[in-house]
Amino acid sequence: QVQFVESGGGLVQPGGSLRLSCAASESIFIIYTMGWYRQAPGKQRELVTTITSGGITNYADSVKGRFTISRDNAKNMVYLQMNSLKPEDTAVYYCNANSGTTLLSRPFGSWGQGTQVTVSS
């Protein structure tokens, strides 16, 4: 199984920024489409953005224009730059390998612990 470790979360004020990091366990990471997911209290986990092995990206309408996904295949890393954060962005954020590039695709790696993002004044 492919395993992931997320980091970079924290407490920020509305309008602030955070950069999340995800480290993959395998060097074969280079072939995978990757995604960032989030799960807010009392809600189901949702896929918010994806990036292909070649760098093509897709974003949910709720984060488009504010979040940017990127990857460094040589380092087995994927990142999420989050700007103009809103209270509704509060959630635990997870990364995973995806079955496809659309926001209807499914994860197939193991879930990590995630990293908590809290947006509050």
Report DSSP state, residue 42: T
Distance between CA 37 and CA 87 in Å, rounded? Answer: 17
Alpha-carbon span 66 to 119, nearest angstrom: 14
Measured CA to CA, the distance from residue 6 to residue 96 in angstroms comes to 10
- 78 φ, ψ (degrees, to nearest 5): -130, 145
Q: Is 112 in contact with 7 (CB distance < 8 Å)?
A: no
Q: How confident is the model at residue 100 (pLDDT cuts 50, 70, 90)?
A: confident
Q: Considering the chain, what is the average pLDDT of its residues?
A: 93
Confidence of residue 85 (pLDDT cuts 50, 70, 90): very high
pLDDT tens figures, 25-82 = 877 677 889 999 999 999 999 999 999 988 999 999 999 999 999 999 889 999 999 9
